[in-house]
Amino acid sequence: MTLKLYELVGSDAARPFSPFCWRTRMALAHKGLTADSIPWRFTEKAAIAPHGSEKVPVLLHGEKAIVDSWVIANYLEDAFPDRPSLFGGEGGRAVMRMLNWWGDITVVGGIFPFIVADIPAQLGEVDAAYFRSSREARFGKPLEEVTAARDKGVIAFRKSLDPLRLTLKTQPYLGGNNANYADYIMFGGFQWARAVSPFRLLEADDPVHAWRERLLDAFDGLARNSPGFAL
Kindly tell me which residue out of 6, 20, 42, 87 binds a second copy, with binding defined by CB under 8 A.
87
Strands 3-8 and 58-61: antiparallel
Nearer to a second copy, 63 or 90 (CB): 90
Does residue 36 contact residue 54 with C-beta atoms inside 8 Å?
no
Q: Judged by CB under 8 A, which stretch of 7-15, 157-165, 192-200, 210-218 contacts a second copy?
A: 157-165
Kindly tell me which residue out of 59, 67, 72, 96 binds a second copy, with binding defined by CB under 8 A.
96
Kindly state whether residue 210 participates in binding a second copy, applying the rule CB under 8 A.
no
Nearer to a second copy, 13 or 95 (CB): 95
The rounded distance, in Å, linking the Cα atoms of 183 and 215 is 8
Nearer to a second copy, 90 or 125 (CB): 90
Taking residue 105's Cβ as centre, other Cβ atoms within 10 Å add up to 11
Helix locations, 62-115, DSSP H? 69-79, 90-102, 109-115
Strand-pair partners of 5: 37, 59
In the complex, the residues that contact a second copy under the rule CB under 8 A are 85, 87-99, 101-102, 105-106, 162-164, 166-167, 170-171, 173-176, 180, 182
